[in-house]
Amino acid sequence: MTAPQEPLDPVPTPESGEAVSAAQDELAALRAELEAAQATIQAQQDQILRTAAEAENVRRRSQEDVTKARKFGIESFAESLVPVKDSLEAALAQPEQTVETLREGVEMTLKQLAAAFERNQLADIDPAQGDKFDPHQHQAISSVPAPQPANTVVQVLQKGYAIADRTLRPALVIVSAGQG
């Protein structure tokens, strides 16, 4: 004899009805949590995409700014030099000049050039005799026995120049080797 089979779908009892209702409520709560989590994920993914796009825009704008700075960085200096060129051309265009008028014109042009240098923070490096040798601003061509202390400037052969605090061209100097 075979054992009686249990029915596949048990007949709901009042207790099992409450269990089904609780399971359905729990399932609905889990679905709501899942939907909320998916919405949060979608919002975060959108935020990540927006942030990445903004970072790319900032990078591109920065790159354009650097390109413009390189291209137009000397614009102020160039504008300062245009009057100097105009003065030199005007001097050459004058026929029959005396040495005195030519000298006056050159001196005025030199003042214009010095003003352009000053406006653009281009300064002379012109050490005085006896100044301490500075390898960041001076280039020693030779050293000679001299009464000054060793490693001091004896003579300036050519002035140097600096832009702001950066040496553009060092001054060419002869330094003292000390008492010979």
Q: Can you give the three-state secondary structure of 131-148, one letter per residue?
A: CECCCCCEEEEEEECCCC
Give tens-digit pLDDT for 59-82: 999 999 998 888 887 888 889 999
**Position 6 in a domain:** no
Residues 60 and 28 in one domain: yes
pLDDT of residue 46: 96
Residue 4 has pLDDT above 90, yes or no: no
Residues 141 and 92 in one domain: no
CB-based contacts of 68, cutoff 8 Å, min separation 6: none
94 is in which domain, residue-wise?
Answer: 74-120
Q: Which residues are bridge partners to 172 per DSSP? A: 139, 158
| This prediction's pTM | 0.60
Residues 126 and 175 in one domain: yes
Residue 85 has pLDDT above 60, yes or no: yes
pLDDT band at 18 (very low <50, low <70, confident <90, very high): confident
**Position 89 in a domain:** yes
Q: What is the DSSP string of 2-34?
A: PPPPPPSSPPP-HHHHHHHHHHHHHHHHHHHHH
Residues 91 and 104 in one domain: yes
> Token digits for 108?
């005025």
Residues 168 and 128 in one domain: yes
> What number is the average pLDDT over the span 12-28?
78
pLDDT of residue 59: 96
**Position 2 in a domain:** no
**Position 40 in a domain:** yes
Residues 35 and 59 in one domain: yes
> What number is the average pLDDT over the span 132-148?
94
> Token digits for 65?
């700014």
Residue 144 has pLDDT above 70, yes or no: yes
Residue 2 has pLDDT above 80, yes or no: no
> Token digits for 75?
């614009």
Side-by-side strand order, sheet with 153-158: 138-144, 171-176, 153-158
Residues 171 and 128 in one domain: yes
**Position 58 in a domain:** yes
Question: In whole numbers, what is the pLDDT of the chain averaged over residues?
Answer: 89
Judge contact between 82 and 120, C-beta under 8 A: no
How many domains does the structure of the chain reveal?
A: 3
Residues 114 and 128 in one domain: no
CATH number for the domain harbouring residue 155? 2.30.22.10
Give tens-digit pLDDT for 99-139: 999 899 999 999 999 999 999 999 999 999 999 999 999 99
DSSP secondary structure letter of residue 178: -
Q: How many residues in total does the chain contain?
A: 180
Q: Is 178 left (phi over 0), alpha (psi -120 to 50) or beta?
A: left
Residues 126 and 170 in one domain: yes
